[in-house]
Amino acid sequence: MSMNGAEALVETLFRSGVDTCFANPGTSEMQLVAAIDGQYGMRAILGLFEGAVTGMADGYGRMADKPAITLLHLGPGLANGLANLHNARRAGSPVINVVGDHATYHLQYNSPLTSDLAGVARPMSDWLKASISERDLPQAGAEAYAAAMHYPGRIATLAVPANHAWTEGSSPAAPAALSAAPQSPDAAITDAAAALREAHGPTALFLGGRALREGALEQAGRIAAATGARLICETFTARLQRGAGRVAVERLPYFGEQGAEYLKDMKAIVFCGCEPPVSFFAYPGKPSWLSPEGARLVRLASMDEDTENALTRLADALNAPAEPALVQAAAVPAADVTGPLDPTKIAAIVAALMPDNAIVSDEAATAGLMIFPATAGAPKHDWMMLAGGAIGQGLPLAAGAAVACPDRKVIALQADGSGMYTLQALWTMARENLDVTTLILNNGSYAILNIELMRVGVQNPGPKALSMLDLRNPALDWVQMSEGLGVPARRATTAEELREALAEALAHKGPRLVEAIL
Amino acid sequence: MSMNGAEALVETLFRSGVDTCFANPGTSEMQLVAAIDGQYGMRAILGLFEGAVTGMADGYGRMADKPAITLLHLGPGLANGLANLHNARRAGSPVINVVGDHATYHLQYNSPLTSDLAGVARPMSDWLKASISERDLPQAGAEAYAAAMHYPGRIATLAVPANHAWTEGSSPAAPAALSAAPQSPDAAITDAAAALREAHGPTALFLGGRALREGALEQAGRIAAATGARLICETFTARLQRGAGRVAVERLPYFGEQGAEYLKDMKAIVFCGCEPPVSFFAYPGKPSWLSPEGARLVRLASMDEDTENALTRLADALNAPAEPALVQAAAVPAADVTGPLDPTKIAAIVAALMPDNAIVSDEAATAGLMIFPATAGAPKHDWMMLAGGAIGQGLPLAAGAAVACPDRKVIALQADGSGMYTLQALWTMARENLDVTTLILNNGSYAILNIELMRVGVQNPGPKALSMLDLRNPALDWVQMSEGLGVPARRATTAEELREALAEALAHKGPRLVEAIL
């Protein structure tokens, strides 16, 4: 059967294992749209803005551990998706961007939408290729899949000139061989074991990336049992498996000086799935590097090495017991709170209502800070955070996770300011009837920036400065916005109202939004 | 007085002529926020998403002919603004992006928000620089202003490391000298005159960029009077000054084959302020290059050369009369339409209600196609279009134009699909009480893509393909979204309702939205 390039590409991607496409196409992608239409096994999910599309692909990738494709329109469409690709990349999510380009012969005319597509892609792509003709396009797709599946997950961007998509005479390529996750060298195991054994004082495992999955944490808990090492995770984790019955980790505080204080007594820090802790931002006179001077630092496994394997080998090298330490007991704070909302009451209510096996997309920022500790002993769940720091991730991440895991409840904890970046994701939740309960924490402010303004040394900020951090004039009405986007919504100003509205939303299978006013 | 780098930079920009900042700052920009706070002459306008910020800067630049600054947060924040910077660049708008970066010594730690900022900036920047210290930062700001003011307007991006912003010991730099607009060579005038005089058949001036301002068009009208040349403008113009009493131009049809048909009899085409016409996209078997074979093509002035000067010299070389031809008479279609809305009725109503000296931001796409011809003889106005083709421009462009021209009514003609990209701009309209009436043309569809799907050769698209072009499931409720963002809104489903709602909105000084259901 004769296929055009688009059909052969989509067939190749499907045979490789891709069955989900998050799309915001334009004219140059119409052949790809038609090819996806013709591929019975490929689900197509429309996003109304590319930042929502790439954020959904990130959420899908984090939960499915395999890539969806995004379908994006030329350089400017890809540009709109870059910030959430930055987050996906930092999270180690597998994503394949399929970006239409002008027909190769059309580029010389520099028509209005022409831009440097490769230049736009490069800063946020681990792998980047454009097809040379309709004949190599499917092979490039197979390579993109293998690149995205590079452990733990990478961003692969494939530019597809429109004429390669529409030209007949192509045929599917065989799926590419996937490489196994690289393993830590034996020396890393030996060094880490020695560092933990020989330290004259407290030690810690500093864990990130795939080291925060249940199986890896089980091994970390064995190491803790053998050595007394504390288990500390990155402040912003891609996907942390936690809750009652799982090995618990402490979370490094956000502000650099607090992080440094937190670690100051450590004599050895073994890091696994991440690099040593550093502060998120620089501040005058405050540390960027957070490990104490003189502490022994050992890389057990980088983000790109098999963390569970490395932790297992280390536990065995330490003759650790089979049973892990630090297993979390079931426990949540008392939820019989009443009256006007504050972060502590919100946290208690969320923790009390969290169903088993939930997925949490946490972009709650300051107003939600108490929810993470309050849910430590809630039923087991996956907790996803802003691994790359580019706000506007939370709502699409939740939507993408719900696509990947249709049988699990997804809870989006969303601050108002960052939620505004990609609120279009609510529409996709409605369209696909995704089982996402969104809790908007509306404090009418970029609250974190009021703190940061002081921390960088600004004294007595004036009204103009403060106005740039303020969202109250006019107030954002998330109930109206949500319903305008098709997601039924309620507002809560008291603990009683929040408990009732959140319980109702969680009991419903499908999208709901609750706006909590602080 | 000792200044830190941020203060010296902001003072330099103010002395150079910048008095407006569109901002979406983060931690690394807090010193810049404080410096703007301390600069009494600098207005700070918050946008809730960077695409809104850069789109507002484009609208401001098109109307003010001088740059505002944008204040953006690191690589990912800039990335969110790239698509509208693409549009601004294609429009020849002056814009200065001030992008905070991590402190220089912090970059080595590769903290979560670290990215290749220069790589992100490069594809959409004409000028790009990062300061070396707090001491050269102000001078870099002065250079950025001169770069942005390069005729007709350019995109200048200045990266400001946080430690340069906060370090004391800097001082303002003198404003940089601005270069005059380059002028066309005499040979271009001579060639153009010869081409128009010697052609055996119809001729045209093909006009774009600054050639569509009133003064330049007056000269083009003189040339038409002398030679009979038709005046044709680019399909998507940055800013066209038109309406009753002004020299009228024809608009090249959007689809390439229609454009080629439109031009097929031309024996000579003199282009000014733009390059020869090409199709927006490529299609199988359809032309990209639209000028007829054998026609004499002459570049009178490029986009970067002084178009009014070139047209004046050409008119004089042709001994053209002082009075232009093709002056538009006052005339609008009858507006006594009734019943369910369609594009023709909407066009008649808009044309009848358009106030004198309005500014139109046109991202109305297919549903608004009839409004442009219907308003040809409306009171004089400026008409701004999607010069770069990256959708999501219309609402922020309108907001930025309203900031630049507070005494003029701005009308945003906005399609539903593209409006969803940067709807956050509505909130800024409310916050700043900008005098913008937004007319949403809600056809529940990426309607243009249904046409494009056929045009690229897709036969019998299936339900999955069509669903990717459809916005009806669920329907977007723009009244709710607008009110959620603080802009009062009404819905109209009939001509009677639209006339009444639009008249009320236009009579009010401040933001209003009317959703027209098609």
What is the mean pLDDT of each successive set of 10 residues along chain B, which is 518 residues long? 93 98 95 94 97 98 98 98 98 98 97 97 98 98 98 98 97 96 97 97 98 98 98 97 98 94 97 96 93 97 97 98 98 93 96 97 91 97 97 98 98 97 98 98 85 82 87 94 98 97 98 96
Question: CB neighbours of A460 closer than 8 A, spacing ≥ 6?
Answer: none
Q: Which residues pair with B445 in a beta bridge?
A: B470
- Average confidence (pLDDT) over A247-269: 96
Residue A257 pLDDT > 80, yes or no?
yes
Residue type present at position A177 = A
Distances in whole angstroms, Cα of residue B56 to Cα of each of A49, B74, B94, B292, B404: 18, 19, 12, 38, 10
Report pLDDT for B469: 87
pLDDT of A323-367, one tens digit each?
999 999 999 999 899 999 999 999 999 999 999 999 999 999 888
Nearest residue to A32 via CA among B447, B255, B474, B449: B449
Contacts of A38 in chain B (CB under 8 A): 462
Residue ranges of the alpha helices (H) in B92-136?
A: 117-121
Apex B258 CA angle, B252 and B264, nearest 5: 85
Q: Which residues pair with B289 in a beta bridge?
A: B278
B 263-302: CB under 8 A from A: 275, 278-282, 284, 288-289
The three-state secondary structure class of A517 is: strand
Residue of B nearest to A109 (CA): B278
How far is the alpha carbon of B449 from chain A, nearest alpha carbon, in Å? 6
**What six digits make up the tokens of B18?**
């910048």
Residue A54 pLDDT > 80, yes or no?
yes
Q: Are A122 and A80 within 8 A, CB to CB?
A: no
Distances in whole angstroms, Cα of residue A97 to Cα of each of A30, A102, A144, A385, A428: 16, 16, 9, 22, 19
Positive or negative, the CA dihedral A312, A316, A319, A322 is positive
Report pLDDT for B317: 98
Measure CB to CB from residue B484 to each of A44, A90, A476 and give the nearest one: A476
ipTM exceeding the 0.95 mark: yes
Contacts of A27 in chain B (CB under 8 A): 280-281, 448-449, 452, 455-456
DSSP B284: T
B2 shares contact with chain A (CB less than 8 Å): no
Residue A492's pLDDT band (cuts 50, 70, 90): very high
Radius of gyration of chain B (CA): 24
- Indicate the average pLDDT of chain A: 96
Report pLDDT for B181: 94
Residue of A480, A483, A513, A517 to mutate when probing chain B, most B C-beta within 10 A: A480
Report pLDDT for B365: 87
Report pLDDT for B137: 98
Report pLDDT for A303: 95
Report pLDDT for B366: 84
**Judging by beta carbons within 10 Å of its beta carbon (0-12, 13-18, 19+), is residue A178 exposed, middle or buried?**
middle
Residue A263's pLDDT band (cuts 50, 70, 90): very high
Residue A462's pLDDT band (cuts 50, 70, 90): confident
A 456-475: CB under 8 A from B: 456-458, 461-465, 467-471, 473-475
A 355-394: CB under 8 A from B: 386-390, 392
- Average confidence (pLDDT) over A281-289: 93
Nearest residue to B282 via CA among A8, A171, A100: A100
Contacts of A457 in chain B (CB under 8 A): 31, 166
CB contact under 8 A, A465 and B33: yes
B159 shares contact with chain A (CB less than 8 Å): no
B46 shares contact with chain A (CB less than 8 Å): yes
A28 shares contact with chain B (CB less than 8 Å): yes
Nearest residue to A208 via CA among A317, A298, A92: A92
Around A479, how many Cα atoms within 13 Å sit in the side-chain half-sphere? 10
Size of interface A-B (CB pairs under 8 A): 310
Report pLDDT for B89: 98
Residue ranges of the alpha helices (H) in B26-116?
A: 30-38, 50-64, 74-91
Q: What distance lies between CA A99 and its chain's CA centroid?
A: 21
Report pLDDT for A463: 87
How far is the alpha carbon of B447 from chain A, nearest alpha carbon, in Å? 11
Model confidence, pTM:
0.98
CA distance B255 to A291: 61
Contacts of B70 in chain A (CB under 8 A): none
Residue A187's pLDDT band (cuts 50, 70, 90): very high
B382-402 in b/e burial notation, b at 16+ Cβ within 10 A? bbbbbbbbbbbbbbbbbbbbb
Report pLDDT for A115: 97
Residue ranges of the alpha helices (H) in B415-494?
A: 416-419, 425-431, 447-455, 463-467, 478-484
Residue A1 pLDDT > 80, yes or no?
no
Around A320, how many Cα atoms within 13 Å sit in the side-chain half-sphere? 27
Report pLDDT for B455: 83
